[in-house]
C-alpha cells in the first residue's frame, strides 16, 4: 500500500466548496466516508506507520470484493502527529465532508473530541486507548473503545504478575513505569485499587514526553527499587529504550509485562532485537503473527494485483490491530445498512451498527467481541504473548 | 497461564488464552466514573 500522506493535501486546499463538491460526488458514486486520524510523523509514528496501513488494507480488500452491499468504503486519512489542535481541525473537516464517523488516534485527542462526538451524534473509535469509562455506552453514547481499555489492561497486567509470582501478590513490589500524559495516567486508579486489595507495594515511575530519556527510571527500578514485577505503560520510543535498559542493568525481562502500546515488534527491534528481548511479556488485544485467514486474504489481494504486501505487514502486532479497526468499522456499516434499508446510513445508524456487533472473531485474530449499547469496550479481553525464539 | 500455546508470529508466542481480570471491579468503576463525569458536565 502506498503511503497516504498525500491525503493530507486536501487539508491545505481548505476550500469548502471543494469539500461540498466532493461530498456530492461521494453520494453519487455510493461511497461511505469515514474520517481516519493517524500519527505517521509524531512521537507515536512507530505505531501509526504500521497500524494505519492495516486499516486501509482491510477496507481495500472489502472494496475489491464489491464493497458493502454495493457501497464502497473510504477511510480518509489525515495525520494529527499525536497533537490535539490538528485532531480537532481534522474532525471538523471530516464532519463537513459528511463522514459517518471517525477513527480517532490518541488519548489526548479522544478526550478533546468526546464532547463534540456527542453533540454532533457522530461515532468515534479509540481502540485500546482513550477514556476507560467510555466503555459505558449509557454515558458515552458515541465513543467506542472497541478493545480492552486502559483499566482492563491494567487489571490484566496485575493478574498476569500475580499468576507469574505464584498466585499471590501479598508483600510483593510492583513498579509501574508510564508515559507521563493522560494515556499513561489512565490505568493508575485501577492499579492503585488493586494494590490495596491484593496487598502489594506499588511505586510509579513517570517518563516525560516525548519519552526519549529513560535511563534514570531504569536505574531507579532495576538498581534501587528492585521490584518483583514491572508493568510498562509507555509508548513511542520509550518501550525499546526500557527493554534495552533493563537488559543492560540485569533486570529479568520475564518479570516485565507491557501494556498494549509497548508490545510491538518495532519496540523489540528498537531495543536491539529478539536476542535482547527474550522473555519480555507483551499484551495484545489482537493476535500477533500472520497465521490468520484475514491476513492471508490481504496477502492474496496484493498477489492478484502483482504487488508485494506492504512492509508494515511484517510488524504484525500493530498492523493486525489496524486490520481489526477496519473490520469493526466495516461490520458497523454493514449493520447500519440493514437499519437504513440500503440507503446511505446516518452516523447514528453506524453507532447503532457498532452496538449490533456480536461474537466477532475475524477467524481468531481477535477475541470473541460483542459490543452492546451498554458495553462499548467489547468485554475487555487481552492475551499475553512472550518474546521466545527468533523472528 | 504459563503453558506454551501454538506459536504464531515473529518470535512472539502466546502464553495465555484470551482473558480478562477483575471484571466486576472494572465494570463497576466504569459505570460509577461515567455517571460522575456525566453529572459534572450537566
| ipTM score assigned to the predicted complex | 0.87
> How high is the mean pLDDT in each 10-residue block of chain A (391 residues)?
40 43 57 98 94 98 97 97 97 97 96 96 96 93 96 97 98 98 94 98 96 96 98 96 98 98 94 94 96 96 96 94 98 98 98 98 96 96 91 58
Asked if B39 has any chain A CB less than 8 Å from its own CB, the reply is no
Nearest to A133 among B14, B15, B37 (CB): B37
Nearest residue on chain B to A157, alpha-carbon basis: B21
Cell numbers given for A166: 505464584
Where helices occur in chain A by DSSP H, the ranges are: 9-13, 16-28, 45-64, 84-96, 107-120, 150-164, 182-185, 188-198, 215-219, 238-248, 265-270, 293-304, 316-339, 347-354
Selection from A243, A291, A290 nearest residue A263 by Cα = A243
Check B37 against A288: CB less than 8 A apart: no
Residue-wise pLDDT tens digits, A278-335: 999 999 999 999 999 999 999 999 999 999 999 999 999 999 999 999 999 999 999 9
B28 and chain A in contact, CB less than 8 A: no
Strand partners, A384: A283
d(CA A36, CA A53): 11
| Nearest by Cα to A140 from B41, B6, B17 | B41
Question: Using a CB-CB distance cutoff of 8 angstroms, which residues of chain B are in contact with residue A381?
Answer: 18-20
- For residue A19, what pLDDT is reported? 47
B22: nearest CB among A140, A155, A282: A155
Most A CBs within 10 Å, among B6, B12, B23, to test the A interface? B12
Phi, psi (5° rounding) for residue A256? -120, 130
What confidence category does residue B34 fall into, taking pLDDT thresholds of 50, 70 and 90? confident
Please give the Cα distance from A64 to A377 (Å, whole number): 29
Contact A114/B at CB under 8 A: no
Q: In Å, how far from its chain's centre is CA A336? A: 23
Whether A159 and chain B come into contact, CB under 8 Å, resolves to yes
Sheet of strand A383-387, all strands in order from the earlier edge strand to the far edge: A201-207, A173-179, A229-233, A256-258, A281-284, A383-387, B12-14
Amino acid at each position: 500500500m502506498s503511503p497516504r500522506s498525500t491525503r493530507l493535501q486536501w487539508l491545505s486546499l481548505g476550500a469548502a466548496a471543494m469539500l461540498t463538491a466532493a461530498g456530492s460526488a461521494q453520494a453519487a458514486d455510493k461511497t461511505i466516508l469515514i474520517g481516519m486520524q493517524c500519527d505517521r510523523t509524531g512521537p507515536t509514528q512507530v505505531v501509526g506507520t504500521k497500524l494505519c496501513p492495516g486499516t486501509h488494507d482491510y477496507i481495500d480488500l472489502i472494496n475489491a470484493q464489491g464493497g458493502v452491499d454495493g457501497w464502497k468504503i473510504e477511510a480518509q486519512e489525515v495525520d494529527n502527529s499525536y497533537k490535539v489542535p490538528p485532531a480537532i481541525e481534522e474532525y471538523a473537516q471530516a464532519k463537513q465532508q459528511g463522514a459517518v464517523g471517525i477513527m480517532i488516534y490518541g488519548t489526548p485527542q479522544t478526550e478533546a473530541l468526546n464532547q463534540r462526538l456527542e453533540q454532533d451524534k457522530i461515532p468515534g473509535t479509540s481502540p485500546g486507548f482513550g477514556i476507560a469509562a467510555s466503555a459505558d455506552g449509557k454515558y458515552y453514547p458515541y465513543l467506542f473503545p472497541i478493545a480492552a481499555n486502559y483499566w482492563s489492561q491494567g487489571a490484566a497486567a496485575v493478574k498476569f504478575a500475580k499468576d507469574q509470582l505464584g498466585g499471590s501478590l501479598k508483600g510483593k513490589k510492583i513498579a509501574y513505569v508510564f508515559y507521563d500524559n493522560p494515556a499513561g495516567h489512565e490505568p493508575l486508579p485501577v492499579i492503585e485499587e488493586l494494590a490495596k486489595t491484593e496487598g502489594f507495594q506499588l511505586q510509579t515511575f513517570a517518563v516525560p514526553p516525548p519519552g526519549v530519556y529513560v535511563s534514570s527510571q531504569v536505574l531507579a527500578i532495576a538498581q534501587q527499587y528492585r521490584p518483583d514485577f514491572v508493568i510498562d505503560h509507555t509508548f513511542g520510543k520509550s518501550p525499546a529504550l526500557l527493554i534495552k535498559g533493563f537488559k543492560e542493568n540485569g533486570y529479568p525481562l520475564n518479570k516485565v509485562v507491557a501494556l498494549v502500546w509497548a508490545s510491538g515488534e518495532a519496540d523489540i527491534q528498537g531495543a536491539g532485537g529478539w536476542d535482547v528481548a527474550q522473555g519480555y511479556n507483551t499484551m495484545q488485544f489482537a493476535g500477533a503473527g500472520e497465521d490468520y485467514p484475514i491476513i492471508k486474504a490481504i496477502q492474496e489481494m496484493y498477489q492478484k494485483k502483482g504487488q508485494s504486501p506492504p512492509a508494515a505487514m511484517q510488524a504484525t502486532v500493530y498492523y493486525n490491530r489496524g486490520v481489526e479497526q477496519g473490520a469493526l468499522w466495516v461490520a458497523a456499516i454493514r449493520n447500519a445498512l440493514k437499519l437504513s434499508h440500503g440507503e446511505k446510513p446516518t452516523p447514528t445508524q453506524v453507532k447503532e451498527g457498532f452496538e449490533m456487533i456480536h461474537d466477532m472473531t475475524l477467524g481468531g485474530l481477535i477475541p470473541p467481541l460483542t459490543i452492546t449499547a451498554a458495553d462499548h469496550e467489547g468485554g475487555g479481553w487481552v492475551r499475553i504473548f512472550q518474546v521466545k525464539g527468533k523472528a | 497461564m504459563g503453558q506454551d500455546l501454538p506459536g504464531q508470529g515473529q518470535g512472539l508466542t502466546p502464553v495465555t488464552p484470551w482473558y480478562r481480570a477483575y471484571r466486576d471491579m472494572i465494570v463497576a468503576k466504569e459505570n460509577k466514573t461515567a455517571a460522575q463525569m456525566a453529572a459534572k458536565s450537566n
